[in-house]
Amino acid sequence: MSWHVVAPVSEIPPGGRKLVTVRGRPIAVFNLGGEFFGLLNRCPHQGGSLCEGVLTGLVEAVSPGDYIYTRPGEILRCPWHGWEFDVRTGQSHTDPEKIRTRAYPVGVEAGQTVVEGPYVAETIPVKVEENYIVVDV
Amino acid sequence: MTRLLPGTIDCDIHPSVPDLGALLPYMDDHWRDMVITRGVEELHSIAYPLNSPLTCRPDWRKPAGRPAADLATVRREALDGFGTSIAIANCLYGIQLFFSEDMAAAFARALNAWMAAEWLDREPRLRAAIVVPSQSAELAVAEIERWAHDKRFVSVLLLVGGSRPLGKRENWPIYAAAERHGLAVSIHAGSNYHNPPTPVGWSSTHTEDYVNQAQSFQSALTSLICEGVFNKFPDLKVVLLESGFTWLPAHLWRLTKFWRGLRMEIPWVDRAPADIVRSNVRLSLQPVDGPPDAASLNRLFEHLQSDELLLFSTDYPHWQFDGTEAMPDAISPALARRIMVDNPRATYARLGALQEEVA
């Protein structure tokens, strides 16, 4: 595993996402209110591109007729069949232990730190005055 | 031939009302007068036409009149005939067809009183389902409350085809009452015929109506699960009677698949539908609607993923098999014991006491 620079922070605003490729792996990077998360861009069901899914909230119920809506923007629905995944963990809602997409650690580092390494930034030009999103792959 | 074990419980037999006159002594003065004044003669729906081969096995058919219409006959043909220790009478009569709620309630009351006096009082091996006027949940609950003290009534009988899907909240008082009193809810093939008995409209023949019962059961089961009946009433046991069961694995696979993508519509369904069925739903054995060879049938049982789902039934007097061959040979001895004895006892809470009686 090594940390890879995938984008300047300014490129993925809160609520935004970007599909990046790191060491040949397609990874969807999401910004949830300033926190960044990375998911393998492949639905474990049939391989749908999760990066193209709708971000929604978590709908739960204590009893029939209840609709409790929490965590707006943190649940990703696969664009193919609507399976729901927790952006923070990659776990599916209906079977979190067995059905999940791989989650990659994502962080933010200052340009100065990135320049000093050890970070891999093959395709991203790095400026010391910017902050960068880094993914551990 | 798989022999029936001692203690076998037959979860679906159909004693018949011989004719409406049999119920008159159990009606109050007003309704007895109405039957005569209005000239109400019979109350059988088209579900089991008398001359259809399905309606009665040839060796049980009478020269005239309904089959299974008196206790001596049912004793000889069903109880002694199969050697069952207990049989549950699910009386199919036209109660559900009425458009008048009051009339339905009056006839249901008479039917249950007739069942208690003419059958249960005279034959200790019999149990029965409470027939309710499903036209009105309020009146249905009143009928349940009327008989709940009588432990020989072990379930509440509904027909799979009604005016609206069975999971709808208008029916919840019925489920609440059943759960409260430890009564299973038995859903039997048939309809009130206020809607077409198939999902695609009125068909032309008895063949179509009967085969398509499986689709009605799928729709009813889906409704019960999706509307959250088992979340609201977690101790409720629903028994599908004369439903067949070979459709269940494929249907549950389909339902679970779509639940994964659409469950935000029904967020209270917090377990896979297949899991809900395994905890709350049971199905009667006859008619076995699968191939008879052992390999195919056992593969199907594997797909059911549980040995607790099936309950022994003969569906007497309906013609589903010949002789006493109610149990397919392919069924293993361990599964056979579950189907014949253990599963019915676990399903009908009011049969649980039997264990002590037998011991």
pLDDT in tens, B281-332: 999 999 999 988 889 999 999 999 999 999 999 999 999 999 999 999 889 9
Q: What is the DSSP letter of A45?
A: T
- Please report which helix (H) or strand (E) contains residue A18, including its range: strand A17-22
Res. A21 pLDDT band, cuts 50 70 90: very high
Residue A49 has pLDDT above 50, yes or no: yes
Handedness of CA A126, A128, A133, A134 (dihedral sign): positive
Q: What are φ and ψ of residue A103, in 5° steps? A: -105, 135
Mean pLDDT is lowest, of A104-118, B93-107, B163-177, for: A104-118
What structural domains and CATH numbers belong to chain A? Answer: 3-51+87-136 (2.102.10.10)
The answer to whether residues B54 and B318 touch, using CB atoms and an 8 Å cutoff, is yes
The answer to whether residues A107 and A74 touch, using CB atoms and an 8 Å cutoff, is no
Question: Burial level of B34, CB count in 10 A (0-12/13-18/19+)?
Answer: middle
Q: What is the DSSP letter of A63?
A: S
Kindly report the length of chain A: 137
Whole-angstrom Cα distance, residue B74 to residue B123? 10
The mean pLDDT of B171-190, rounded to a whole number, is: 98
Residue B41 has pLDDT above 90, yes or no: no
Question: Shortest Cα distance from B169 to chain A (angstroms)?
Answer: 10
Nearest CB partner across the interface for B227, out of A64, A84, A95:
A64
Comparing C-alpha atoms, which of B96, B94, B87, B110 is closest to residue B29? B110
Using the Cβ of B272 and the Cβ atoms of chain A, whether some distance falls under 8 Å is answered with yes
**pLDDT reported for residue B272:** 95
Res. B359 pLDDT band, cuts 50 70 90: very low
Question: Shortest Cα distance from A58 to chain B (angstroms)?
Answer: 8
Residue ranges per domain, chain B?
A: 9-358
Residue B352 has pLDDT above 80, yes or no: no
The mean pLDDT of B263-291, rounded to a whole number, is: 96
Nearest CB partner across the interface for B267, out of A45, A59, A82:
A59
Residue B263 to residue A93, Cβ atoms within 8 A? yes
Residue B358 has pLDDT above 80, yes or no: no
Nearest CB partner across the interface for A83, out of B169, B229, B261:
B261
Residue A23 has pLDDT above 70, yes or no: yes
The answer to whether residues B312 and B344 touch, using CB atoms and an 8 Å cutoff, is yes
Question: Burial level of A45, CB count in 10 A (0-12/13-18/19+)?
Answer: middle
The mean pLDDT of B151-177, rounded to a whole number, is: 97
Nearest CB partner across the interface for B263, out of A56, A67, A94:
A94
Instruction: Provide the token pair at B218.
Output: 């799928």
Helix, coil or strand: residue A109: strand
**pLDDT reported for residue A1:** 80
Using the Cβ of B201 and the Cβ atoms of chain A, whether some distance falls under 8 Å is answered with no
The mean pLDDT of B250-261, rounded to a whole number, is: 96
CATH tag, B9-358: 3.20.20.140
User: Residues B70-101: pLDDT tens digits?
Assistant: 999 999 999 999 999 999 999 999 999 999 99
Q: Which residues pair with B153 in a beta bridge?
A: B128
Q: To the nearest 10°, report the CA torsion of B163, B166, B168, B173.
A: 110
Residues of B in contact with A93 (CB under 8 A): 263
Share of residues in chain B with pLDDT > 90 (%): 91
| Cβ within 8 Å of residue B133, ≥6 positions away | B95, B96, B98, B101, B104, B105, B107, B108, B139, B140, B143
Using the Cβ of B261 and the Cβ atoms of chain A, whether some distance falls under 8 Å is answered with yes
The mean pLDDT of A6-22, rounded to a whole number, is: 95
The mean pLDDT of B162-184, rounded to a whole number, is: 97
What does each C-alpha distance from A117 to A23, A109, B65, B177 come to in angstroms?
18, 10, 94, 69
Average pLDDT, rounded, for chain B = 95
Angle at A28 between CA A23 and CA A29, to 5 degrees: 100
Count CB-CB contacts under 10 A for residue B143.
Answer: 25
Residue A36 has pLDDT above 70, yes or no: yes
Whole-angstrom Cα distance, residue B175 to residue A125? 66
**pLDDT reported for residue B347:** 98
Residue of A nearest to B267 (CA): A60
Residues of B in contact with A78 (CB under 8 A): 261
Q: What amino acid occupies position B228?
A: G
Residues of A in contact with B270 (CB under 8 A): 60-61
**pLDDT reported for residue B27:** 97
